A and B are shown apart, each in its own frame.
Chain A
Amino acid sequence: MVALFGLIVGFGLYNGASRVKAWEATLAAASRDQDERLEELRERSDQVDSGELAPGLYNHPRSPSYVGGVRGQRFAMAPPGPLAVMAIGQSDLHPQYYKINNRSSQSFLDDDEIENPINLLTGRFDLGFVIVYLFPLLILALSHDLISAEREQGTLAMVLSQSVRARALVVGKALARLGLAVALVVVPSIVGALAAGVDPLRADAAVRLPLWIGVVVAYAAFWFALAVAVNALGRSSATNAVILVGCWMVLVIVAPALLNIVVTALHPMPSRVELIQATREASTAASREGSNLLARFYEDHPDLAPAEIDLNPADFWIKVQASQESIDQSIAPVLARYDAQLAHQQAMVDRLGFLSPAIVAQEALNDLAGAGMARRKLFLEQVDAYHKEWRAFFVPRVMRREMLSRSDLDNLPTFTFREEDAGAVARRVGLALLGLGIPTAVVGVAGLWGFRRVRIAG
C-alpha cells in the first residue's frame, strides 16, 4: 500500500514537474526570441544611421508601427506558480504568454496554447488529481471497517470490556489511521515537490507549503469523519464500503458536474460568436468611416496631430491605428459581459462549492499551486496594463508620424510578472479550510453522537 501510493504520488509529481519544465523552456525560448529580434532591430537601425541600409517604411527598424506591431513585439509571460509542480489545474487550458502589439487587445487575447483536446477533456494525472480523487479512496479503504471489523471479528466486546469508552476508541482509531493516511501522501508529496524544484525558502512557498498540507489534512479529516459517521450506523463492513463509495461518487464525480450545470444555467455565458460579430461590425464601421475616423481621432487627440498639416488619408498605418481605438471602444461592453458572467459563475462556485469538499479542495490546491482562477485574473490585469503601456509608447509616435529614436529601441516597455500576494492566497485558502472544517465537524459530531450506544455483536 505504501509503495503503491508512493508510486502514484511520484507519478503525479513527475507529470507536474515535466509540465513545469516544458512551460519554463517555452518562456525562455520566447524571451530569447524577443531579445534576438530587438538586437536585430538595433543593428539595422545603426546601419540606417551609417547609410548602409535604406529600408522602406514598411520594415523600417525605426518605424513605430513596424517595431510596435511586428518586429519589436514583446511577450507578457506568466511563469509557473510557486507550487506549480503540485497541480496543473487550469494552466494547460489558458495561455501563459501573449505577444503584445499596438492594435486591439482582441488581436492577441484569444490566442490559444496548443494542446490535444482529448487530453484537456481527460484531465491530467497530477498531484491535484491524486489528492482530490484517489486519496479519499485510500482513506475509505483504511476506514470503512473502523469499528465494524472489530465487531465482525468479535473483538469489539473484548475491547469495550476494558475501561475504554466507545467514543475514545473510535476517535483514537480514526486519528491513528488519519495519521497514517496523511503520512502516506504528505511525506512523499513534500519530498517529491522539493526534489522537483520547489524552493521552501522562497517567502511565498514557505506560506503556501504549510497551507497545502493543511488543505490535505482537512480534506482527509472530512473523509475520516464520514467513515466514522457511517460506522456509527452499525452495519457490516461491506455495507459501509458501499455507502462510502456511494458518497465518494456523489461528492467527487456527480456533485461538481451538477453544480456546473446549475452555475452555467443561472449565469449563462454569452456565446463568443457574439464577440466575433461585434468585432467585425466595429471594424467594418471603422474602415467605412476611414478618414472620418482619423479626423475625429485628431480632434480627440490634437496633441498627436503631425507637424505637417497635409493629412494623407491614404497613410495606411495611421488609419489602422485610429480604427483600433474605435474598435476597442465598441467591443468593450461585449467583452465586459464575458468577464462579468465568469465572475458571477466563480462567485457562485465559491459559495456553493462548500456542498462538496472535493470542489473546495480542488480550488484550494489549484490556488496554492498558482493554477487557479485568481492568479489567471491577476495575470490578465497585468497583461492589460502592459498592453496600455505598450500602446502609450507607440501610438502617439504613429499618429505624429514620427520615427523612433535610437534610444527608444533601448527603452521599450518590458513586462515583469508580479506574483500574487501570499497573504491574499492565505486568506482564500483559510476560507477553504473553514469550508472543509465545518462539514468535517458536523459529520464527525453526528458520528460520535451515533456512537453513544454501540452494538458489540453483528
Chain B
Amino acid sequence: MIARIARKEFLEMTRDGRFRAAFAVVMVLLLASLALGWKHYRDVDDQRREAQRTTRRQWLEQGEKNPHGAAHYGVYAFKPKSPLSLVDPGVDAFTGVAVWLEAHKRNTLKHRPARDATALARFGELSAAAVLQLLVPLLIIVLAFPAFAGERDQGTLRQVMSLGVPPRELALGKALGVSWAMAVLLVPASLLGTTALGLASGPEGLIAETPRMGVMAVGYLLYFGIFLGLSLAVSALSGTSKTALLALLGFWVVNCLVVPRASADLASRLHPAPSAFEFHRALGEELSQGINSHDPNSQGMQALRETILLRYGVEREEDLPVSFAGIALQEAEEYGYGVYDKHFAALWNTFARQDQAQRLAAVVSPYLAVRSLSMGAAGTNFARDREFADAAERYRRDLIKIMNDDITQNAQGKNFGYTADADLWEKVPDFHHEAIDFRGSLAENRPDLIILAAWFLAAGFAAMIATARVRVS
C-alpha cells in the first residue's frame, strides 16, 4: 500500500508542469554551482601552490645577507584551499588568503576575497551548499504541503480514508513519494559532486575526503528530513492547503533569513569583538613593555646586556664568545610570543563564543546547525583559518629562531658585518600545512549533528502525531 501511494505521489509530481519547472531550476542551479565550485577550487589551489613554491624559491635565492635581514625579508604562507570547498566555500570569501611571516611581528592573514567584490556578493554566494541549504528545503515544502491539505481541499481525503488506509501508511507513502522525487535530484548531483572532487583532488584525495562527504551527506539528509516531516505535520493539521503553505514558507523565512541574521547581531552584542584599532593598540602597548631589540639604549636591553656579560664573565660586549645582538633579538621574540598568543587567543575565543551563541539559536533554526556542520566537514569554517594562522605562526617562530641562533653562534662580539648564505636558508624547512584530521573536525561538529538529529526526531514525531489525528474535512 505504502509503495502504491508513493508511486501515485511521484507520478503526480512528474506530470505537474510547475513541479517539473521548479525541479529543473533547482537541478540546473545545483549542477552549475558544483561546476563553478570545481573550477574555482582548481584555479585557486593551483595558484596558491605555485605561490608557495615561489616564496620558497625567493627565500632560498635571497643571496648573502645578515640573517636578521633575511628574517625581516621573511616568507609568505598561503592558505591551502580545502577540496570540499567546491561544495561548501564556507567563510572562505571573508578570511584572508596569505600571511607574511617576518621578524618581530605576528601579522594577520590578509586579502579577503570579498573585499574585491561588489555588494552583490553579500546577497550570498551561489554554492552547492547554498542550493542544498536554502532551495532544496523550499522544493520539499512545495512538493509536500498538499499531502493532506491538498487532498482535503479537493475532497479526496475523505474517499481515501474511507477505503480504510491507515493515516500512518498514507503519510509514509507520501513521504516516500517526495523522497523519491528528491532522490532523482540529489543522486545525480552527488555523483557529479563526487566526480568533481575526484578530478580536483585525485583518487587519493577522494578517498581521504570520503568520511567528510559522509558526514555532510548525513547532515543534509537529516536537514531535508526535518523539512519533510514538518511539511507533512503542518499539512495534516492546517485547515486548507493555503494556510499550510504559508505556515511552512513562514518557517523557511524565519529559519533561513531571520534567525541567522538576528542571532549574528545578538551574538556580537553579547560578546563584542574589539575594533582593529583597539586590538593593535593593546597589543602594541604590551609589546612595548618588552625588550626593543632595535633600541640598544632601552632599559630592557641594558639589563639583558648586564646579565649576559655576567654569565660569560666578561666586561665588554666585544669580548663575548657569542653575539649579544643574536641573544637580544631572540629574547625580544620570545617576549612577543606570550603577548601575541594572549591577544590573538582572546580575540579568537571571542569569535568562538559568538559562534557558540549562534549555535544556541540553532534550536530554533536547523539551518544554522546544517550550515555549521557542512562548513566543518568541508574544512571551510573559521576554526580551520585559526588553525592555519597558528601553524604559520609556529613556522615563523622556528624560522626566526634559526636566524637568531645563527647570529648568536657566528657573529661573536660586535660583528655587525656578519652575513650568511644559502646554506643557512636551506636549514629552514619548507612550510607545509596539513589540516586537522577528520576525527578532530567531527568532534567539533558533534553538537551540530546532535541538534540536527533532535530536530529530525521532533519533526518525525510531529508528523506521526499530526497524521494520526488528521481531520478529514
Contacts and interface: CB of A to CB of B under 8 A. Distances in A.
Interface of A: 11, 15, 18, 22, 26, 29-30, 33, 56, 58-59, 89-90, 93-95, 97, 110-125, 129, 133-134, 137, 141, 236-238, 241-242, 245-246, 249, 253-254, 256-261, 263-264, 269, 271-273, 275-277, 280-281, 284, 287-288, 338, 341-342, 345-346, 349, 353, 358-359, 362-363, 366, 372-373
20 contacts: A33-B281, A58-B294, A89-B119, A90-B122, A111-B276, A112-B112, A114-B274, A118-B264, A120-B114, A125-B265, A238-B245, A245-B249, A254-B126, A257-B125, A257-B126, A257-B130, A277-B51, A288-B63, A342-B117, A349-B118
Interface in B73-127: 73, 76, 78, 90-91, 93-98, 108, 110-126
B441 interface: no
Nearest to A97: B277
B246 interface: yes
Shortest 5 CB-CB contacts between residues of A and residues of B: A256-B123, A238-B242, A257-B126, A272-B111, A117-B94
Given A257-B123, A272-B97, A342 B63 contact: no
Interface in B259-300: 260-262, 264-265, 267-269, 272-279, 281, 294-297
B142 interface: yes
Contacts of A242: 142, 245
B246 A133 contact: no
Contacts of B151: none
A114 B347 contact: yes
Given A122-B261, A125-B265, A349-B119, 5 more contacts: A30-B277, A110-B111, A118-B354, A125-B264, A261-B126
Interface stretch (B4-12, B54-62, B171-179, B461-469): B54-62
Contacts of A281: 58
A113 B246 contact: no
Given A117-B95, A372-B119, A237 B354 contact: no
Nearest to B242: A238
A123 B261 contact: yes
Contacts of A342: 116-118
Interface string B155-199: 000000000000000000000000000000000000000000000
Contacts of A29: 275, 277-278, 281
B3 interface: no
A237 B91 contact: no
Interface in B131-162: 134-135, 138, 142
Secondary structure of the B contact surface, majority rule:
helix
Interface in B291-315: 294-297
A118 B261 contact: no
B414 interface: no
A90 B278 CA distance: 21
Interface of B: 22, 29, 32, 36, 44, 47-48, 51, 54-55, 58, 62-63, 73, 76, 78, 90-91, 93-98, 108, 110-126, 130, 134-135, 138, 142, 240-242, 245-246, 249, 253, 257-258, 260-262, 264-265, 267-269, 272-279, 281, 294-297, 347, 350-351, 354-355, 358, 381-382, 385
A39 to B, nearest CB: 16
A122 B264 contact: yes
A133 to B, nearest CB: 6
B274 A253 contact: no
Contacts of A125: 258, 261-262, 264-265
A405 to B, nearest CB: 24
Contact of B124 (A118, A257, A264, A284): A257
A420 B275 CA distance: 25
Given A110-B110, A366-B119, A373-B118, A118 B96 contact: no
B4 to A, nearest CB: 27
Contact of A114 (B261, B276, B382): B276
A125 B124 CA distance: 14
B120 A259 contact: yes
Contacts of A122: 260-261, 264
A260 B118 contact: yes
